[in-house]
Amino acid sequence: MKLKNVLSTAAFCAVSVLAISSCSKEKETVAPIAEEGISNAVLTQIKDMGLTTQDIKRVEDGYLVEGDILVTPEMLANKPEYQMLRVGAEEQYRTNNLVSVGSGRTVSIRVSTSLPSAYVTAADELIRRYNAQGLRIRFTRVTSGGEIVLRAAPQGSGYLASAGFPSGGNPFNSVRVNSDAIGTANASTYIATILAHEVGHCIGFRHTDYAGRQYSCGGAPVNEGASSVGAVYIPGTATGNDPNSWMLACIGGGQNRPFNANDVTALRFVY
């Protein structure tokens, strides 16, 4: 999530949870432009995955799209069977790839010492939020190893946090966190919401408003066509506006988004 347009003092927003860029109705939307130097071949591959290339950015580990989703070279090299995207408005979606949980699985999360202690508090809260739902996937915090590691983003990063999607039945293994931009206030609310969103990507959830940012960030719907990543509708979730979902693309500064009723439906259906 690249820092681009700084918001008004009243509205600190983040694309895809989390990028300080075009956000909500509180600021003027600026049309994003793809970064120069990214080949047409890469852009085509990312579009074929069902991801938007608007405001794509080259980052240390690959390419950042939709504000906080990391696309690695390994993902680009993978050519799974295509599925057609169900293009909706505000329903909730998952990717084709999920974490293999069987009858139950506990995924370990570690907070790198490169992050302030407030992020340990936030990680404990995000774990509590997920574990309270009685899912077949559970989380635990560890101090060494970890299947998902929350670590500091490279210095000077223009985004708040980023993560990728599962592969091989395992969660994406890293969440990059720009603690300088996020700060340390509101650890059990605002920061926990950001991290819970990124962990949502790690286990296979897409943005609730992936087809457009019309009520989350003020953008327009975009039909993204065929998809290898997938945007599979989760039955039972909202078919109208859901302005409080934990997987919305944008969030206001200091905002807390615990799981709402549709989020719980989505989580329990998938896991």
CA distance 88 to 65: 19
Q: Which pair of structure tokens corresponds to residue 261?
A: 């009723």
Nearest 5°: the CA angle 216, 217, 218 is 105
Residue pair 55/2 in contact (Cβ under 8 Å)? The answer is yes
Closest CA to 107 of 168, 165, 166, 171: 171
**Confidence band, pLDDT 50/70/90 cuts, at residue 28:** very low
Q: Where are the domains of the chain?
A: 13-270
Q: Is the pLDDT assigned to residue 207 strictly greater than 80? A: no
Q: Which pair of structure tokens corresponds to residue 213?
A: 């940012």
- Specify the pTM: 0.71
Q: Is the pLDDT assigned to residue 163 strictly greater than 60? A: yes
**Confidence band, pLDDT 50/70/90 cuts, at residue 210:** low
Q: Which pair of structure tokens corresponds to residue 125?
A: 């809260």
Closest CA to 106 of 91, 85, 121, 127: 127
- CATH 3.30.70.100 for domain 13-270, yes or no, is no
| 230-239 pLDDT, tens digit each | 455 556 566 5
**Confidence band, pLDDT 50/70/90 cuts, at residue 221:** low
User: Cα-flanking dihedrals φ and ψ of residue 269, to 5°?
Assistant: -70, -45
Which of 46-60, 142-156, 206-220 bottoms out in mean pLDDT, i.e. has the lowest? 206-220
Q: What mean pLDDT is reported for the chain?
A: 75
Closest CA to 38 of 20, 18, 58: 58
Which of 56-60, 71-75, 223-227 bottoms out in mean pLDDT, i.e. has the lowest? 223-227
| 78-119 pLDDT, tens digit each | 654 434 333 334 446 555 678 999 999 999 999 999 999 999
